[in-house]
A and B are shown apart, each in its own frame.
Chain A
Amino acid sequence: GAVVSQHPSWVICKSGTSVKIECRSLDFQATTMFWYRQFPKQSLMLMATSNEGSKATYEQGVEKDKFLINHASLTLSTLTVTSAHPEDSSFYICSAIGARGTDTQYFGPGTRLTVL
């Protein structure tokens, strides 16, 4: 089946620094990638949708200047958390779908971000 990887799997950073998380589709071309955030004991919340070569579409309440998303190729999307603060500590998960659009979303293993 299709595989999506994320790097790093966990990261600890100081408040005020920026952190970049990579999401890669390993064996298929992902026309669309999604970024989700999951707080402890809660479900996944969609942050943004990114299509290759165009600007990401952010969900209501998600600061686009704080969570920078770049989908530069059909196999790579990056999420940069700028000027991270402790309240940004969360589990970030990406997913990807191929050209068929409404087919299965394949999820990455997630990245645990802890901001001190």
Chain B
Amino acid sequence: GQQLNQSPQSMFIQEGEDVSMNCTSSSIFNTWLWYKQDPGEGPVLLIALYKAGELTSNGRLTAQFGITRKDSFLNISASIPSDVGIYFCAGRNYGGATNKLIFGTGTLLAVQP
């Protein structure tokens, strides 16, 4: 099935550093979502984006809906140890008849205190 290209696959950073990750698609999306998954838990919704160019923040997290509608970006500022986890992007095809979300393969974030 179709998947989104999410990069990087993993990141190992020091506490306090900023983090950037992105997601790209070959098709146009009308919705981008960013989730975080802690070990042994289900994904938790962080940010939802609905308009091209939209920039939305949630605490230290900021996400943007790319103007081409084919990409999205997530930034985490001043990382802390509890930011550790896997971050997934998800998008919904423009004009899709169902509520099917397409998920990226995730970015594993490790933060060293």
Do A and B pair up? The answer is no
Binding site for A on B (CB under 8 A): none
